[in-house]
C-alpha cells in the first residue's frame, strides 16, 4: 500500500484522475490462482475494512499460493495502531507468510493488495522473491509497480515478477475514497 498519512498529497486515493498509463501487465501463468484472484481481492478488501476500523488508511493484503490460490497470510495497514512506519499491509502479509511457510523466499506465492504498492512494499516483494503481485486501485502519487516506478520489472534488481493491475479496482478505490470523505466531513 502507499500508506498515506492523513493529509499529504500521497494520501489521496486515485479518485478523480485515471491512471495515465497502464502498468506493464503479465498474465498469471497459474490458472488456479488466476481463477481465485477476485475472491482473494475480496479477502484483501475485508482486511482493508479492519484497518479503517482502527483509524488506519484502509488497505488490505493477502499472500496466497500460486499453485492453488490458498491463502497463506493476510494483513491490513496497522501504521496508526502500532505507530510503525513500516506496518503497511503488504509488509505485514509478506512477513506473516514467510513465518507460516518457514522461509523468506516466497516465489511460490502471489501478493494480492487493494492498492498499488509503494516503493517500500514493492521493494519488500522483490526481497521476498515474490512470484506475482496483483493489485486493485492504481496509486498515481506513490505507486511503485507501474505508476511512479516499476520495481517489478527493473532488470537492475535481482528479481522480477509479473504484475496484474486493476483487480476489482473500482471497489478498492471506493473503500479509500469513502475513508477520506469521512475524514474530511465536518
Ligand atoms: Zn507500502
- Which 3-state string (H, E, C) describes the chain? CCCCCCCCHHHCCCCCCCCCCCCCCCCCCCHHHHHHHHHHHHHHHHHHHHHHHCCCCCCEEEEEECCCCCEEEEEECCHHHHCCCCCCHHHHHHHHHHHHHCCCCCCCEEEEEEECCCHHHHHHHHHCCCCEEEEEECCCCCCCECCCCECCCCCCCCCCCCEECCCCHHHHHHHHHHHHHHHHCC
**Ligand 1 center to residue 27 CA distance, Å?**
23
Distance 2 CA to ligand 1 centre (A): 4
pLDDT tens for each residue of 125-180? 999 999 999 999 999 999 999 999 999 999 999 999 999 999 999 999 999 999 99
CA 92 – ligand 1 centroid, Å: 10
pTM: 0.84
Known catalytic residues are: 90
Amino acid at each position: 500500500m502507499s500508506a498515506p498519512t492523513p493529509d499529504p498529497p500521497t494520501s489521496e486515493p486515485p479518485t478523480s484522475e485515471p491512471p495515465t498509463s497502464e502498468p506493464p501487465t503479465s498474465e498469471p501463468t497459474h490458472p488456479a490462482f488466476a481463477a481465485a484472484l477476485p475472491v482473494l481481492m475480496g479477502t484483501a478488501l475485508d482486511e482493508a475494512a479492519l484497518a479503517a476500523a482502527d483509524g488506519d488508511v484502509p488497505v488490505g493484503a493477502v499472500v496466497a499460493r500460486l499453485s492453488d490460490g490458498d491463502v497463506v497470510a493476510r494483513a491490513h495497514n496497522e501504521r496508526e495502531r502500532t505507530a510503525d512506519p513500516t506496518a503497511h499491509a503488504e509488509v505485514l502479509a509478506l512477513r506473516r507468510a514467510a513465518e507460516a511457510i518457514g522461509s523468506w523466499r516466497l516465489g511460490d506465492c502471489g501478493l494480492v493488495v487493494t492498492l498499488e504498492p509503494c516503493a517500500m512494499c514493492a521493494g519488500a516483494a522483490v526481497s521476498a522473491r515474490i512470484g506475482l503481485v496483483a493489485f486493485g486501485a492504481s496509486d498515481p502519487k506513490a505507486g511503485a509497480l507501474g505508476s511512479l516506478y516499476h520495481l517489478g520489472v527493473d532488470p537492475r534488481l535481482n528479481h522480477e515478477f509479473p504484475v496484474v493491475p486493476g483487480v476489482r479496482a473500482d471497489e478498492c478505490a471506493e473503500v479509500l475514497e469513502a475513508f477520506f470523505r469521512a475524514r474530511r466531513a465536518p
